[in-house]
Amino acid sequence: MFRQTLALFLVLAVAYATEFYECDSGVTPATDLRVNDCDQLPCQFKRGKDIIAQMDFKTDGAASKLEPQVRVKALGFWVNYPIGYDDACTHLSAGKCPLSSGDSATYDIQIPVLDSYPEITINVEVTLKNENGDPISCFAIDGEVVA
């Protein structure tokens, strides 16, 4: 029974993985990503709904604090995107700060998509930085803001 349950869990975990690519900065990429309602790029981001995602990552350095940095590229320009908090340690569903080099963790991400946003194509880049501002992990995805 345990093996059947484990096999079903692994199939479901793979089924919900979202494509992503490495950030241009060369930061260690996430090990896995799951974005709600998106398993293929570009993701469809509905106005008035939050982007909900989970990023699995493995640290290549120590971190007592994780600062999330979200950047969005729209109409050819990158802008920092505020998400309402500055310590991602409080948003880990697996792992716990402080993190040591080689630790694995899962960051739960919630990014608002306002009703007022136009329907456009965007690129989203999420980076986690330690307390010194050194990047720990990162992912990038393509998306479209839709009605």
Domain ranges of the chain: 18-146
The CATH fold of domain 18-146 = Immunoglobulin-like (2.60.40)
Partners of 69 in beta bridges: 127
Decide if 41 contacts 119 (C-beta within 8 A).
no
Q: What is the pLDDT of residues 75-125, one digit of tens each?
A: 999 999 999 899 999 999 999 999 998 999 999 999 999 999 999 999 999
pTM of the model: 0.85
Q: What is the Cα–Cα distance from 95 to 73, expressed in whole angstroms?
A: 30
Q: Which amino acid is at 116?
A: S
pLDDT for residue 6 is more than 90:
no
